[in-house]
Structure formats: C-alpha cells, structure tokens
Amino acid sequence: MYKIYIWLLGAVVTFVGFGFYAGNIHGSITSAHKYNQAQDRRFVRELKQKIPVSVGFYKGESRTPGLAARWRF
C-alpha cells in the first residue's frame, strides 16, 4: 500500500519539477528573443543615423527603383 503512495508522490513531484523546468526553458527562449529584437532595432536605428541611405522609387512616370544617399557636412 505504501509503495503505491510513494510512487504517486514521486510522480507528482516529477510532474511539478518538469513543469518548472519547461517553464524556465520557455522563459529563457522568450527572453533571448526579446533581447535579440531590441539589439536589432538599436543597431538599425544607429545605422540609419550614421549612414542615411534610402531605397525607393523615383517620382517620375516610369517609377523605376532607385537608391539615394545623403551626407551631412
């Protein structure tokens, strides 16, 4: 009788422990993803400030793609 209770207690403790373990893995993945996105946005923002380059279409009739760069003195 006690073997069954010990087995059930072990199963419950294992299940709860696995839940904490899986939650920590999920949290670390989410945190790393958010950090990487923030670093990407910061890098792009700084790059746009340092090298103002724009890609778009000319406003003429043909609407051909173009690349423009600006240098400030």
Tokens of 46: 């700084």
With contact defined as beta carbons under 8 Å apart, do 53 and 69 qualify?
Answer: yes
d(CA 53, CA 66): 11
d(CA 22, CA 7): 22
d(CA 22, CA 9): 20
pLDDT per position as a tens digit, 1-18: 778 888 899 999 999 999
Domain regions of the chain by residue span: 2-69
Q: Answer yes or no: is pLDDT of 73 > 60.
A: no
Q: Which residues contact 72 (CB under 8 A, 6 or more apart)?
A: 52
| pTM, 2 dp | 0.59
